[in-house]
Amino acid sequence: MKKTEKKKTLVTAICGASGVIYGIRLLKALLARPVEVYLVISSAGYAVLRHEAGYDGEPFDDFLKREGVVFHWEARLYHHDEGDLFAPPASGSFRHDGMVVAPCSMKTLGAVASGIADGLIHRAADVCLKERRPLVLLTRETPLNLVHLENMRRAAMAGAIIMPPCPGFYTRPETLTDIVDGTVARVLDQLDIDNDLTKRWGDKDLV
């Protein structure tokens, strides 16, 4: 983080869609900086973490460290249960710099598009929209039916940033990490966070 860069406070969520690697990698990138992160994981998100990432129910900080996350000494990670509607992100008076749902299930997308705030993830997303704060949804589903597309349209019209994790191959990725980092870098761009996770169009070795 540059010395002149404002310290960020961010909300992140992991939902029950395939692709929890995006949420893990995003946390790794964020917590390497002096940021405050408020994390919410849905019950389905935990199930996918167990299936895709080998999470065994250990303290989540320990799991992240096992995944290679190195905490900046000023970084803070706060965990909140998805049912805790008294958590800070549930209120518009709690000031932060944006929210990312990575991955975002079609259930969560539907709730956001419909204004249904029946849990902390949905409520925190709704707060972002009403307070005009960045809300980035890494929607994970394919193929998409008309309901999915309509929910994306409605969420986008309300102010959400719809960002399906579509890799860009012009950077010539060589590993799965390279592919994931390409998407995470674009997420950080949406949050106005400088990063060098991936090559960019215009770099001398690309063009």
Annotation: binding site: 16-18, 42, 105-108, 140, 170, 186
Query: Which DSSP helix (H) or strand (E) runs through 177?
Result: helix 176-190
Binding residues for FMN: 16-18, 42, 105-108, 140
Distance CA 207, CA 203 (A): 6
- Amino acid of residue 29: A
Please report how many Cα atoms fall inside a 13 Å half-sphere around the Cα of residue 119, on the Cβ side.
16
Amino acid identity of residue 46, one-letter, is Y
- The binding site for dimethylallyl phosphate consists of 170, 186
Q: What beta strand segments (E) does the chain contain?
A: 9-14, 36-41, 76-80, 99-104, 135-139, 161-162
Helix axes 20-31, 43-53, angle to 10 degrees: 90
As a 3-state breakdown, the chain gives helix, strand, coil percent values, each rounded to 5, of 40, 15, 45
Angle at 154 between CA 140 and CA 49, to 5 degrees: 25
